[in-house]
Amino acid sequence: MAISVGERLPEATLVRMGDNGPESVAVSALTAGRKVVIFAVPGAYTPTCSSAHVPSFVRTKAQFDAKGVDEVICVSVNDPFVMKAWGDATGANEAGLTMAGDPQAEFTKAIGMDFTAPPAGLIDRSKRYAMLVDDGVVSILNIEESPGTCEISAGETLLGAL
């Protein structure tokens, strides 16, 4: 069952690129005492993720900052090397978004957002969503019904809900 508004995020580890290479970071460390946006995509370099979802948060990053959001994190079931390269390719890194991998889908499965679509080669991937997390607790959660759609999970939609 998927996580709901009002629930605390479960303990899980994401992997991002640091100054010295890949570094593991606990979700609790990213969210404790902070207001954080977490949005997830089915896969790096996939069409809707690259052309709509990430760009929506690149466009709105400064507005989230102005509303007191401490960090905007993109999560995908990919390794941190792919996430860094994709962040460079989309302008997400330059915009200040954190590109975090969930290589074993640990976080994705823990919050009930996993799906599998073998014909597309997507195994244990994340549903498309965007959430606002306040001190580890989900305060807004926008989940897309279709992985190929980016409407309610777009940066502009989440920003409008703040």
Contacts of 129 (CB under 8 A, 6+ apart): 39, 40, 113, 141, 142, 143, 144, 153
Separation between Cα atoms, residue 54 and residue 37, nearest integer Å: 13
Strands 137-143 and 129-134: antiparallel
Rg, the chain, Cα only: 14
Annotation marks residue 150 as catalytic: no
Of the listed 49, 69, 92, 111, which one is catalytic?
49
Q: Hey, which residues are catalytic here?
A: 49
